[in-house]
Amino acid sequence: MEILNKLKNLDAYPKINEDFYSRTFSGGVITVVSSIIILLLFISETRLLLYSATETKLIVDTSRGERLHVNFDITFPSLPCTLLSVDTVDMSGEQHYDIRHDITKKRLDHLGNVIESRQGGIGAPKIDRPLQKHGERLDHNEAYCGTCYGAETSDDQCCNSCEEVREAYRKKGWALTNPDMIDQCTREGFFQKIKDEEGEGCNIHGFLDVSKVAGNFHFSPGKSFHQSGIPAHDLLAFQTESYNISHRINKLSFGKEFPGVVNPLDGAQWKQGGSSGMYQYFIKVVPTIYHDIRGHKINSNQFSVTEHFRDESVYPRPLPGVYFFYDFSPIKVIFTEENRSILHFLTQLCAIIGGVFTVSGIIDAFVYHGARTIKKKRELGKYR
């Protein structure tokens, strides 16, 4: 009993007889308000416990030699698919022209309806008796070896398709200015396809595999080639007054998607008002790693962008097309999903209950004693 009495003396919460309680209207209002605040804060903390929070960390990007996919889906309402080509160039010297693999083109009518969809290119070559290298037409049972029209690098080189002639010209640094005079191009209907698709648009989507170094990829009318280190396009034979490079970017991303990612160019569009030119997007890519709550790791990228249009009237005259110039940030962002521990939840809960009741008690005491003081002063004023 003596030990129990000593424990009773340690009671930090002495009880007051109910006869000495004084309940007030203001105290009841403060109690209801504080209870509502506690309930709201409890719900908020419970949501934070149930749903994961994302922690952000910045580190220096030390990765080297990596590659990434550039995913795109772009619509050109006024450029035919036969003219539209995709090229990539980067600072390491890697160059790819008229890329066709992993890319799908869709011919569109003036209303945007799909006419034809095919992997790589559009249309099929027409088979006819081709012109031989020696100048005669292909005879029965004779092996075909087409001429490269002076662009041969060796005596036994053959150009059996319009594409091979164009490639031979590109390696020489020449522009293919007369495709209608090239037997392979005429036979495959290349020039005719351009005329047939006049007034059409094109949707092009797929992905590009690029090195993780600064560079650019662009969508332009015509096949690219380099002459004295300067990029150009073999457009002269079918050049109109100007090309309408109006476009809508349905999707553009660097790498895989991850929760919460925002691609600023998704849904962006630009309409050409006057003369043609070069529309440029300058992109700063930020390498990003996302760790989800299950421990899965997603290597991806975010990016910011600015844009600029170079009119064809400026000198030097820019090549028509839509160009995406990208560079990589030296900083890598790491997102990590985390759940709060139950101990942290209980600690926050105790802090909420204790804090709200303490503050409400202070407010109640201030209101109660203030009301009593005012009441006493009024009573004193009556007796005077």
pLDDT at 16: 66
Instruction: Tell me the mean pLDDT in the region 50-76.
Output: 88
Q: Check residues 117 and 120 and name the one with the higher pLDDT.
A: 117
Four-residue CA torsion sign, 222, 226, 227, 229: positive
Residue ranges of the alpha helices (H) in 197-261? none
Q: Check residues 174 and 228 and name the one with the higher pLDDT.
A: 174
Q: What percentage of the chain reaches a pLDDT higher than 90?
A: 28
pLDDT at 11: 60
CA atoms within 13 A on the CB side of 40: 7
Instruction: Tell me the mean pLDDT in the region 180-185.
Output: 76
Lowest mean pLDDT among 89-98, 176-185, 311-320: 176-185
pLDDT in tens, 276-322: 889 999 999 999 999 988 888 999 999 999 999 988 777 777 788 99
pLDDT at 142: 59
Instruction: Tell me the mean pLDDT in the region 98-122.
Output: 80
d(CA 249, CA 368): 66
pLDDT at 279: 93
What does the radius of gyration of the chain's CA atoms come to, in whole angstroms?
A: 37
Q: What angle (nearest 5°) sits at the alpha carbon of residue 174, between those of residues 163 and 207?
A: 50
pLDDT in tens, 199-219: 888 999 999 999 999 999 999
d(CA 114, CA 108): 5
Q: Check residues 21 and 218 and name the one with the higher pLDDT.
A: 218
pLDDT at 57 over 50: yes
pLDDT at 122: 43
pLDDT at 337: 85
Contact 74, 249 (CB under 8 A): yes
pLDDT at 93 over 60: yes
**Residue 13 — very low, low, confident or very high, per pLDDT cuts 50/70/90?**
low
pLDDT at 19: 62
Q: Which range in 6-15, 153-162, 163-172, 260-269 is most confidently predicted, on average pLDDT?
A: 260-269
H/E stretch holding 162: helix 162-172
pLDDT at 249 over 90: yes
pLDDT at 34 over 70: yes
pLDDT at 127 over 50: no
pTM score: 0.65
pLDDT at 382: 63
Q: Which residues pair with 55 in a beta bridge?
A: 336
**Residue 238 — very low, low, confident or very high, per pLDDT cuts 50/70/90?**
very low
Instruction: Tell me the mean pLDDT in the region 143-172.
Output: 82
The single residue listed with the structure tokens 């997102």 is 335
pLDDT at 227 over 60: no
Q: Is 298 exposed, middle or buried (0-12, 13-18, 19+ CB in 10 A)?
A: middle
Q: What percentage of the chain reaches a pLDDT higher than 70?
A: 79
List the one residue out of 192, 182, 199, 284 whose CA is nearest residue 244.
Answer: 199
